[in-house]
Structures are given as C-alpha cells and as structure tokens.
A = this chain, B = another copy of it.
Amino acid sequence: MQIDPQWLLPCALLVVLMQAGFTCLESGLVRAKNSINVAIKNLVDFCISITLFALVGYGLMFGPSASGWIGTGDFGIAGLDPDLLAFFFFQAVFCGTATTIVSGAVAERMRFVAYAFTALLLSGLIYPIAGHWAWARTAEGDAAGWLGAMGFVDFAGSTVVHSVGGWVALAALLVVGPRLGRFGRRARQIEGHSLPTATLGVFLLWFGWFGFNAGSTFAYSDAVPGIIVNTALAGAIGGLAGMAASWRMKGRPMADAVMNGVLAGLVSITASCHLVSPAASVAIAAIGAAFAAVAAELLARWRIDDAIGAVPVHLVAGIWGTLAVALFAPVDAFSGAGRLEQLGVQVLGVVAIGSFAFVAGFAGLWAYGRFSRLRVSPRDEVIGLNIAEHGATTSLLDLLSQMDVQANSGDFTRPVNVENESEASQVATFYNAVLEKFNLEIDRRRLAMQRLAELAHHDALTGLGNRRLLLDGLRQALAAADGAQRGALLFLDLDGFKQVNDSVGHDAGDALLKEVARRLRTVAGSDALVGRLGGDEFAVVLRELSDPVAAATRLADALIAALAEPVAFGPHRLRVGVSVGIALFGGTELETVKSLTKRADTAMYEAKLAGKGTWRVFDAPAAEA
C-alpha cells in the first residue's frame, strides 16, 4: 500500500469539510428549535471520533490483525511515521463521517448524552472492527481482515462507512422511537426550517466526497480522474433521478428529493468508483437513488422516523453500491473470482458487517436505555432541544414563552418584559402596545358601562340611588345580617312638601328635594345607604350595627334636625319637616325585604300620626321610648 501524504492529506481535508456539510444538511432539515442541538452534535461527534480513533479505533482497525477479526496494536498512534500519520488522519475523518450519519437520523428527540454514547460506541468499537474485516492490511499490503481476504471489494466505504453508519442509525431509530406527532392520528411530515442551508450542505458533502473517493487511492494514480468523473456523474444523475422520482410520486420536484438523490447517488458509487466506467456509474447512481426513494416511502409506511433520510441514503444506497461492484465492475478486478462468486462475497460482506453493526448498535443502545434515558422528555421535545439541552435560548424565544404564559393564563393585563437591546424588543414593544390599547379599551368600556348602569340605578334629580338600587342594597344587607351584625331601615316622608311645590312651583320643589338629598347624604354618612323611593319619600339603610336602635334613633334625630333648617330658593326660604319610620333587622327571625319595608312604612305612618317631624320605631315603643 503506497501512501502519498501530499495527495492523501488534501483529500482528507475535503472529508473534514463533509462534517460542515452534514451540519448544514442536518440543521437545515430539522426544525429551528432543534437546529443548534443538531449542529453541536455534529461538532462534538467529530471531536469524539477523532480523539477516540486516535486512542483505540485506529489500533482496532489497522493494528496487527488477530486472525482477521480485530486489530491489536498501534493504540494511541504513538510512533507512526509521517506516511502512517497521514493515513491515520484520512481514516480518522472517515470514522467521523460514519459516526455523524446517526446524528441526523435520530435528530429532534435523542438526548445529547445518549447521542454522545452512540458516537463513542460507533467510532470506538463498531466502525473500527467492521472496518478491520474489510480494510485491514498486512505490512506487505495484503488483505489482513477476513472479508478483505475473501476478496470483498468496498473501495471507499459504501458498506464500511455509509452502511455501518446507516445500520447503527436504524438500530437507534428502533430503540428511540419516532418523533411526537410524526405518525399516528394527525400524522404529518415534519419539515426542515432551512432548505437553502441544507442545499449548501449537499454541495459541501459533494465537494468533500471527491476527497473521500479520490483519497481512497492513498496516492495519486491514473485511476483518480475516472474516480472524480464518476463521483461527479453519480451525484448529478442521482439528483436528477431523485427529482424524477419525486415528480412522479408527488407531482412536484421536491427539494429534499433532489438532495437525497444526489447523496444516494454518491453513496452508491463509493464502493466501485475506481473500477467502473462513467456509463456504469450513471446506471449505478440512478438505481441507487431510486432505491433510496422507495426506501424512504417504506420507512414512513413502517413508522420508522428517520428525520433526514439517513437510512435510505446511507444504508440502502450503501448496500446497493456494494452489490453493484459485482454487477458492474470488469470481472478481472475480482482477484480471480467470477462475477457470481464475487456477488456472493459482496452479499456476505453486506450481511456480516450489517448484522454486526446493527446488533452491536441495538444492544448497546438498549443496554444504555436500561440505565438512563435515551430520549428527552415529551415536554422537552415540544420545547425543542436547543433550549432543553443547551439552554440555547434567545430573547425571541423568551418573548414567545412569556406570551405563552399569558395565553395560557388568559391574563393580558401586564406587559411582557424584554430588554431594550435584545433582538425581540421591537416585537415586544408592539405586543405590549396592543395589550395596552386592548386593556385601555376594556377599561373605557367598563367605565361607560358603569356610567350607564348608574343612570339606570339612580334618581335623575337628586343623584341618590333609586328604589331598585335601595331595595337591592337592603336585600344584601338582610342576607349579610345576623344576630351580631344588625341593621335598620329608616323611611322618611317629607312633611309639607306638596305645599311648597304647589305654592312656590316645581322648581322650588326640585331644588328642595335636591337639598334634602344632599343633607341626608351628609348626615347619614358614607356607610349608610341613602335612596329616594319616589316623590317626597326617602329611605336610609344602616348596616353592621351592634346597637341598631341607638344608631337609628340617633340618626333619625340628626336627620330631623338637619331638615329643620330652611332651604334658600331665590327670595324664598323653603321649609319642610320629615317623619321617620324605623324598622330594625338582623335579629334571629327570618325577614324579607317586603316585611321590613312594610314595618318601616307603618312606623313612618305612626310618626306622621304622632304629629310629624318625629320618628317611631316599629313595634318597639317600650324599648325605645
């Protein structure tokens, strides 16, 4: 195996950029609320896989082989010569690629810690071991892994990289389960938040893929231009095939179908790009993209929720690409085997590596799930993993959650609180202004209502409560009264009012009534309920008295005294008196408004009969006299 670092390292760097491509693709294809989580998973899994591959992965994959099953040396990459360091780096970024495939599939619900565990498992164990089978070499450059020794051909990793990532993704999907709302009643496609970003990701992936495939030569050779051209054509044809498939199935050229078509085409050609002709690469890519399109439909039917289509693209097209080697490559590339024989080896490789990766992935995640949660809580899933896992909120999200609280509580009386300098301040200012206007309108209406209600409940001339209001108040007072908290109703009938009205005129009568009302209000105080029953009849209700007789008679005296003062009306000095009937309430006996007013009326007539200008308490002559 000849290695030219000057060729291999630049190719490896292109593969590094594939991480950026995955980041764009995946964060673009998920909802905004999970975009940061996905991006940061891509960054962290790259950090993890580089580190882990240096520590153990490289040793397991390319260390001296134990019977073709596992590598056993070179851990910690100590002592590698420059060529091998370059080789390590190339393989390390491959490992990173395999690892990050999972992140997109399980996006939007898997916990960050659980995903980090998956990355550890995949890059530290599954990928290196499976890779050893296919790609390990002896120092002399012969195949050292058992699959490689059988003649298994997987040039740049349709199976070793893409399918392994895809199998673990599938295992994770089955263990973790679909996203909320993706299937079942009211099932819906969950759309990405930025397809232009995802498209940028596809271009970055394609760009990196050239290094992925061309670098797998380890040193420049005459095969490279063909590899590059095949890679270009496979992506192009894959994209067109994906577009055609979506046009046929959905009636439209769907954006994500074009993208996944490009990627499926690229995955398909990865195993055989060094062997096949441009024409063959076109066929392989078109079929691979079609398989991926069909697989995506089947997954949805089987309720396996792959957020970005990682399984159709990397697993399904990866399997196809591995088998396609036997179907399309020239037979003399098969180290002696016939085409059918080679197909058998390819199938064996797909099955062996697939079983191992899937079982190990499933078992590992299942075991993890016994000890810890693989999945965020439903609440966190609704909130989004940006906030739930990284506290990566923004002022706009803050604002929305404040609005949410208001919406749920129905209390819109207080403005939302957002700092002036923050992103969301303009929206918040607007929202608050609407709230304020809204609340203002409500207040205005309430005041207008109160005013109208007042008009309906008050006497127009004197401004006192009218009969209705007074009786309502009396009813409430009766209901509230008990043995300790008693009350009194005073009925007042003016003495000599008719005379004034007839002799001095209506105006005088009106003026007199208004002045009487004013005095009543003043003397009775604000705790008493004062009303005009009609004509020259008034009433006062006293409430919450401990000694109602004393209070009522004291007030009656005061009222009589107050009205004794004549009322000036132009040149006239109008004089009226008042007769007061008092009825007490709030004893133990049950009492109605009707009976109470009747008693007060009776007492008032007694006062009239007693010579006017005095008061009487109903039925209590002895006590009060």
> Which residues of B sit under 8 angstroms from A32, Cβ to Cβ?
423
- B259→A43 contact, CB < 8 A: yes
Known: A54-B278, A181-B421. A27 touches B199 (CB 8 A): yes
Q: Which of A75-83, A158-166, A479-487 touches B?
A: A75-83
Q: Which residues of B contact A77 (CB under 8 A)?
A: 229, 278
Q: How far is the CA of A46 from the CA of B202 in the complex (A)?
A: 12
Output the least CB separation between A202 and chain B (Å). Answer: 6
- Tell me if A31 counts as interface (CB < 8 A to partner B): yes
Closest CB-CB distance, A187 to chain B, in whole Å? 9
Q: If the complex has contacts A233-B54, A507-B598, are A404 and B422 also in contact, measured as CB distance less than 8 A?
A: no
| B contact residues around A601 at 8 Å (CB) | 505-507
Smallest distance from the beta carbon of A369 to chain B beta carbons, Å? Answer: 20
Q: Within the assembled complex, what's the spacing in Å between the Cα atoms of A186 and B436?
A: 23
A309 smallest CB distance to B (angstroms):
15
Beyond A196-B38, A250-B391, A429-B407, whether A279 also contacts B420 by CB under 8 A is no
Least CB separation from A425: chain B residue: B382
Q: Which of B33, B433, B506 has a CB less than 8 Å from the CB of A406?
A: B433
Mask of A33-67 contacts with B, CB within 8 angstroms, 1/0 = 10110111011101110110010000000000000
Q: State whether A237 and B51 are in contact (beta carbons under 8 Å apart), knowing that A225-B85, A422-B31 are contacts in the complex.
A: yes
Instruction: Find chain B residues with CB under 8 A from A226 CB.
Output: 82, 85
Contact mask for chain A residues 292-326; partner B; CB cutoff 8 A; 1 contact, 0 none? 00000000000000000000000000000000000
- B507 and A20 contact, CB distance less than 8 A: no
Contact between chains at B239 and A23 (CB < 8 Å): no
**Which residues of the partner chain B approach A570 to less than 8 Å between Cβ atoms?**
595, 598
Contact of A196 among B9, B36, B407 (CB under 8 A): B36
A193 close to chain B: CB less than 8 A? yes
> In the assembly, what is the distance between CA of A423 and CA of B400, in Å?
12
In the bound assembly, the distance between CA atoms of A23 and B200 in angstroms comes to 7
Given A6-B7, A47-B236, A199-B42, answer yes or no on A206-B253 (Cβ-Cβ < 8 Å): no
Query: Within 8 Å of chain B (Cβ to Cβ): is A597?
Result: yes
Chain B hits for A445, CB < 8 A: 445
Taking a contact as CB atoms under 8 Å apart, the answer to whether A180 and B421 are in contact is yes
CA of A394 to CA of B194 in the docked complex: distance in angstroms?
Answer: 10
Return chain B residues, CB-CB under 8 Å to A240: 44, 47-48, 51
Q: Does A207 contact B (CB under 8 A)?
A: yes
Query: Known: A421-B190, A421-B382. Contact between A228 and B9, CB under 8 A?
Result: yes
Which residues of B have CB within 8 Å of A406? 430, 433
**Chain A 233-256 per-residue mask, 1 if CB under 8 angstroms from chain B, else 0:** 101110110010000001011110
Q: Is the CB of B456 within 8 A of A452?
A: yes
Q: How many copies does the complex hold?
A: 3
Q: Are A43 and B203 in contact (CB under 8 A)?
A: yes
Q: Is A14 an interface residue (CB 8 A)?
A: yes
Q: How far is the CA of A359 from the CA of B206 in the complex (A)?
A: 35
Residue A191 lies at the interface, judged by CB distance under 8 Å to chain B: yes
- Chain B, Cβ-Cβ closest to A432: B407
Q: Is A538's CB within 8 Å of the partner chain B?
A: no
Q: Chain B contacts of A12 at CB under 8 A?
A: 228
Q: CA separation between A420 and B420, bound complex, in Å?
A: 30
Q: A210 near B13 (CB under 8 angstroms)?
A: yes
Contact with B along A369-401 (1 / 0, CB 8 A): 000000000000110001001111111000011
List A415-445 residues whose CB lies under 8 Å from chain B: 419-423, 425-427, 429-430, 432-434, 436-438, 441-442, 445
Once bound together, how far apart are the Cα atoms of A408 and B426, in whole Å? 11
Binds B, one of A86-94, A556-564, A616-624: A86-94
Distance of A420 Cα from B112 Cα, bound (Å): 22
Q: Are A404 and B421 in contact (CB under 8 A)?
A: no
Identify A19's interface contact among B44, B203, B393, B438, CB under 8 A: B203
Q: Would B420 and A181 count as touching, CB distance under 8 A? A: yes
Contact A279 B76 (CB under 8 A): yes
A199-B23, A228-B85 given as contacts; is B394 within 8 A of A181 (CB)?
no
In the complex, what residues of B have CB within 8 A of residue A452's CB?
449, 452-453, 456
Tell me the A202-220 residues at the B interface (CB within 8 Å). Answer: 202-204, 206-207, 210-211, 214, 220
User: Does A24 touch B at the CB level, under 8 Å?
Assistant: yes
Determine if A339 is an interface residue (Cβ-Cβ < 8 Å). Answer: no
User: B residues within 8 A CB of A204?
Assistant: 20
- Residues A89 and B54 in contact in the complex (CB < 8 Å), given A252-B391, A430-B403: no
Interface string of A142-181 (1 = CB under 8 A from B): 0000000000000000000000000000000000000111
Task: Offer 12 A-B interface pairs, CB within 8 angstroms, sorted by A.
Answer: A13-B207, A13-B210, A17-B207, A82-B224, A82-B225, A85-B229, A86-B225, A181-B422, A190-B421, A193-B394, A404-B429, A407-B432
Sample of 10 further A-B pairs with CB below 8 A, known A77-B229, A180-B421, A408-B433: A36-B255, A77-B278, A89-B229, A93-B232, A181-B421, A188-B419, A190-B421, A191-B393, A445-B445, A449-B452
Per CB-CB distance, the 5 closest pairs between chain A and chain B, nearest first, are A407-B433, A181-B421, A20-B203, A85-B225, A39-B199
